[in-house]
Amino acid sequence: MKSLFDKKAKDRPLQRGDLVLRWDVQWEDKGKHVKFDPLCFVPFRIVEERGNNTYLLENLDGELLELPVNG
C-alpha cells in the first residue's frame, strides 16, 4: 500500500505566505473523537522556514505561535 501511495504522491513544497492547517494531536488516538469533530485547528500562515520541513506559523490575526511546527 505504501509503495502504491508513494508512486502517486506529489511533493508539495511549502513557501512563505502559504496557508496550512495544523493537526490537533489531542484527537489523534482512536475513540477520542466522534465522526464530525474537527481534527485541525484554524488556518495558519507560514512566516518562515526554520529548517528541513519545519516552519514558524502565525494565525490570521498575525499572532505568532511560540514554537516552530514540523510539516
Q: What is the pLDDT of residues 15-67, one digit of tens each?
A: 899 998 877 665 556 666 666 666 666 789 999 988 777 889 998 899 898 88
Question: Sheet holding 69-70: strands in order across?
Answer: 19-23, 40-51, 54-59, 69-70
Grade residue 14 by pLDDT with cuts at 50, 70 and 90.
confident
Q: For residue 5, is pLDDT > 70? A: yes
Provide φ and ψ at 45, rounded to 5°: -105, 140
